[in-house]
Amino acid sequence: MTKRVYLFKEGNATMRNLLGGKGANLAEMTNAGLPVPQGLTITTETCMEYISNGNKMPEGLMDDVRTALADVERETGKKFGDASNPLLLSVRSGARLSMPGMMETILNLGLNDETLKGLISLTNNDRFAYDSYRRFITMFGSVVLHIEREKFEHILDEIKEKEGAKLDTDVSVAGLKEAGELYKGLVKSETGKEFPQDPMTQLQLAIEAVFSSWNIPRAIAYRNHYKIPHNYGTAVNVQSMVFGNMGNDSATGVSFTRNPSTGENLFYGEYLTNAQGEDVVAGIRTPKQISELATEMPELYKQYVDIAQKLERHYKDIQDMEFTIERGKLYILQTRNGKRTSAASVRIAVEMADEGIITKERAVQLVDPGQLYQLMLPSFDPIAKKSGKLIGSGLAASPGAAVGKIVFDTDEAAERGAAGEKIILVRIETCPDDIHGMIVAQGVLTLRGGMTSHAAVVAKGMGKPCVAGCETLRIDLKNETLTAADGTVYKKNDVISMDGGEGQIFEGSIATIEPKMDENFTKLFKWVDGIKRLAVRANADTPADVDKAVELGAEGVGLCRTEHMFMEQDRLPVVQQMIIAGTEEARREALAKLLPMQYQDFKDMFRALKGLPMTIRLLDPPLHEFLPSKEELIAEVATGKALNQDVSAKEVLLCKVEELSESNPMMGLRGCRLGLTYPEINEMQVRAIFEAACDLKKEGMEVKPEIMIPLIGHVNELKTAREQLESVAEQVMAERGVRVDYQFGTMIEIPRAALTADQVAEYAEFFSFGTNDLTQMTFGYSRDDAEGKFLNNYIENKILPENPFETLDQEGVGQLMKIAIEKGKSVRPGIKLGICGEHGGEDKSVKFCHSIGLNYVSCSPFRVPVARLAAAQAVLEEQGERTLVTH
């Protein structure tokens, strides 16, 4: 029969999956002889059994609990439910991965009208006993009986007002006694039943409540955000209570072995004398700094510091500990690996390695790649943010902190931002036309769109904060106002602050903290680069992008999107002239104007790369993206006619927009199809690339152009395009009298290209997996529509484990990649393999790319360190280095 209940002394740290993180750590500390209150753990498997059984307790579970509880009674000398010497319990959740504050906790369980008398007699402390009872009724009533906690607090507030008490601790014993009686009356009026007096009934209901809390909305949302599987379940820890509120020789607190904000190797935390643990975090009283305990209780402080240091060396990570002092005796209630800021994470890992606690390899494993991205971006001062007014929430599309004036018009944003004003671009949604406004904005806020919408992807690439899909806000473009859900209206030029990492918008200006790449960061990444095998490139479209990418460790450019160059203000009219041209001759005339611009673009990019390779994707999007919208042109034509203006040029443009209109542009005239239909466009781009490369080669500079032909579905598309374009390359090199090393390759972003990769490889020196489009075409999802309509629902209802546009789908898209690699190598064994979708900067996706043998990943410049770290961790996980630590 499966064992469902373990005493603390029966477990150990290796049983985390079964006992949860808290239960495994309590067992480990118990067996190490540390002062841990006795208790038992109900397994995570039992939780999932309870949930799969329709939230019904497994048969025989409470009998197992009674048996284990009898052992706790023997160890403590107290008896559960006994009127003279009662054993009181805490009932807490404890998942295998830390989910702080997401599930439920109940303290002082076992108190009733009879055991209350025993507690008074035993402690000779009426205040403590009545305070403990009213706390228990509050927690049990809110967590188990689902009564609003505010109703209990309202009763206590009325008593405090009547007595003139400022704090809870100022309430008289009579007031606490009255509160308990009124609380029981509230339970009766809310539930129709008396407050349960039988301790075993209390315990069973509490266990059920903790099991059920695995699936409360905030716990589900937390797991979705941190990609924690929903089938893990939570353990339940039933532990004998110790009390920090038994007088001035008692205390309770929370501490970290190092500062979790800065990483400084300094004991950090807070405590309260004569209090219970919830008081420390509830803000009812102002806690004291843990260092003050050295003066107040010096011997206990020394004992606690010694234990903390032992725990850190044992678990080889920063520890977050809870403790209670009961009548001069110290108890450790919990230890777990501490949450920390990205900056603290790097410092802690490096310094622990320098101190000899862990190896360099372990240090690399200690830093979370996803969290590392935040280190690249400004963040809000947490104290200032706490006091800010939240006006709206959306999707945390691109992390970072931004403060600026609201601007709704992209052109105005571009002009004012270029002049040095700090602005936030606020749009219903963004499109490629908005790029110039986004470039100079401090951050981007959209009412529509998902995590990989245009706004999100571009903002991430720029390292700019973005909140997308903020549907609680309303925009009135005519009057240039933004209205919050509470009716507050914000006008153009009003200042707002946005936290892209949390998806939050605040009123006014909140102070920010700038990131610092210090010596710890540099040292850690020397270790990283000495371990990883996968190269990391960057997606970059400007020399500034290249400079930032190389600064952050990029080994080249894996994707240069030439269409972004076309969107610049001085180019767009020429591009539009080329698009509306009625003949090839007229098109070539416009392209001749673009040639020197593209030449300079590529020359600047090659120069910035200083010999590192650059993969240049030829024009990919459909041509209509470079033209105004149909609706906008219709309105302009109508307005112009009403004012007797000449609108012939706009009418020509409108006709072209209607001509280029497609029912499904993503699968229409774009990519290589565009280049094969209008070959002169790609010929101009290739000429510009090779003229720039040849001229720099003459100057003695190394250049490595890699020409990427997008959206290949059939080998003949690549064969035809390459033949046309390679002849242009050869012609330019002959004209310039110099040769450069170059490669032609393709993006694998259509499933058919992956399935016929052996044919495609005959004409490609490299494959770059465009996983954004490959994911869309494999799933049959439109990215923006899916995220806006049903994808979140799919994830919440466990139809999909996670968003496939954020984390690479290994079972579907990943299998297509494997097929393409195997087939490509069968024809061209030395073919270069990379990835250039946003997945190239997501840690789990990077590790998958390592496992299938890619040569490089490419991501936005600010995600380069994330990818480098993930690539190193992939090697260590492959080697089992996770357990290689010093002892």
405-414, 643-652, 743-752 — most confident range: 743-752
- Residue 506's domain is classified under what CATH number? 3.50.30.10
Q: Are 506 and 383 within one domain?
A: yes
Round to whole Å and give the CA distance between 222 and 228: 8
Q: Are 544 and 398 within one domain?
A: no
pLDDT at 887 over 60: no
pLDDT band at 285 (very low <50, low <70, confident <90, very high): low
Q: Are 543 and 674 within one domain?
A: yes
Strands 504-507 and 495-499: antiparallel
Are 446 and 470 within 8 A, CB to CB? Answer: yes
Are 138 and 106 within 8 A, CB to CB? Answer: no
Q: Are 407 and 489 within one domain?
A: yes
Q: How far is CA 374 from CA 360, 465, 513, in A?
A: 22, 10, 12
DSSP, residue by residue, 198-214? -HHHHHHHHHHHHHHGG
Q: Which are the contacts of 498, defined by CB distance < 8 A and separation ≥ 6?
A: 401, 402, 403, 424, 443, 445, 465, 467, 504, 505, 506
pLDDT at 186: 97
Are 321 and 255 within 8 A, CB to CB? Answer: yes
pLDDT at 562 over 70: yes
Number of C-alpha atoms within 13 angstroms, CB side, residue 407? Answer: 25
Window from 228-232, 274-278, 483-487 with minimum mean pLDDT: 274-278
Task: Between 581 and 135, name the one with better pLDDT.
Answer: 135
- Residue 276's domain is classified under what CATH number? 3.30.470.20
Round to whole Å and give the CA distance between 542 and 66: 69
Window from 252-256, 744-748, 865-869 with minimum mean pLDDT: 252-256
Residue 795 falls inside a structural domain: no
The catalytic site residues sit at 454, 836
Average pLDDT of the residues in 664-669: 85
Round to whole Å and give the CA distance between 852 and 638: 57
Q: Which are the contacts of 862, defined by CB distance < 8 A and separation ≥ 6?
A: 373, 376, 377, 460, 461, 462, 463, 548, 552
Report the 10 Å Cβ neighbour count for 858: 31
- Residue 721's domain is classified under what CATH number? 3.20.20.60
Window from 39-53, 356-370, 716-730, 786-800 with minimum mean pLDDT: 786-800
Report the 10 Å Cβ neighbour count for 477: 11
Average pLDDT of the residues in 304-318: 94
Q: Are 297 and 418 within one domain?
A: no
Round to whole Å and give the CA distance between 292 and 295: 5
pLDDT at 861 over 80: yes
Mind listing the pLDDT tens digit for each residue in 713-753?
999 999 999 999 999 999 999 999 999 999 999 999 999 99
Q: What is the token pair recorded at 780?
A: 């049959």
Give me the number of domains the chain comprises: 3
Q: Which are the contacts of 583, defined by CB distance < 8 A and separation ≥ 6?
A: none
Average pLDDT of the residues in 159-173: 90
149-163, 281-295, 509-523, 652-666 — most confident range: 149-163
Residue 96 falls inside a structural domain: no
Residue type at 368? D
Are 423 and 405 within 8 A, CB to CB? Answer: yes
Instruction: State whether residue 316 is helix, strand or coil.
Output: coil
Window from 467-476, 551-560, 568-577, 726-735 with minimum mean pLDDT: 568-577
pLDDT at 431 over 80: no
Round to whole Å and give the CA distance between 713 and 30: 62
Average pLDDT of the residues in 222-239: 87
Q: Are 409 and 549 within one domain?
A: no
> Which DSSP helix (H) or strand (E) runs through 94?
strand 89-95
Are 103 and 219 within 8 A, CB to CB? Answer: yes
Instruction: State whether residue 559 is helix, strand or coil.
Output: strand
Phi, then psi, of 518 in degrees rounded to 5: -95, -170
pLDDT at 225: 65
CB burial class (10 A; 0-12, 13-18, 19+) of residue 536? buried
pLDDT band at 608 (very low <50, low <70, confident <90, very high): very high
Q: Are 495 and 555 within one domain?
A: no
pLDDT at 881: 45
pLDDT at 884: 37
pLDDT at 371: 77
Strands 395-398 and 466-468: antiparallel
Tell me which residue of 772, 758, 790 sits closest to 710, measured CA to CA. Answer: 772
Round to whole Å and give the CA distance between 67 and 47: 19
Q: How many residues does the chain have?
A: 887
Q: Are 711 and 814 within one domain?
A: yes
pLDDT band at 68 (very low <50, low <70, confident <90, very high): very high
Query: Domain residues for 302?
Result: 242-281+291-340
The pTM assigned to this predicted structure is 0.75
Give residue 528's Cα distance to chain centre. Answer: 22
Round to whole Å and give the CA distance between 331 and 184: 31
pLDDT at 628: 80
Mind listing the pLDDT tens digit for each residue in 797-841?
889 988 999 999 999 999 999 999 999 999 999 999 999 988 999
Residue 660 falls inside a structural domain: no
pLDDT at 34: 93
Q: Report the helix count and the strand count for the chain, using DSSP H and E.
A: 37, 31
pLDDT at 634: 86
pLDDT at 110 over 50: yes
pLDDT at 430: 81
pLDDT at 886 over 80: no
Q: Are 385 and 503 within one domain?
A: yes
Round to whole Å and give the CA distance between 735 and 76: 92
Mind listing the pLDDT tens digit for each residue in 91-106?
999 999 877 666 788 9
Round to whole Å and give the CA distance between 881 and 877: 6
pLDDT at 452: 44
Q: Are 856 and 745 within one domain?
A: yes
DSSP, residue by residue, 221-276? HHHHHHT--TTS-EEEEEEE---S-SSTT-EEEEEESS-TTT--SS-EEEEEES--
Tell me which residue of 382, 415, 421, 378 sits closest to 400, measured CA to CA. Answer: 378
Q: Classify the C-alpha dihedral 219-197-282-498 as positive or negative.
A: positive
Q: Are 543 and 485 within one domain?
A: no
Q: What percent of the chain has pLDDT over 70?
A: 95
Q: Bridge partners of 235?
A: 94
Phi, then psi, of 603 in degrees rounded to 5: -65, -45
Residue 678 falls inside a structural domain: yes
Average pLDDT of the residues in 322-350: 89
Average pLDDT of the residues in 178-183: 96
Residue 766 falls inside a structural domain: yes
Mean pLDDT (the chain, rounded)? 90
Q: Are 461 and 402 within one domain?
A: yes
DSSP, residue by residue, 430-456? --GGGHHHHHH-SEEEESS--TTSHHH
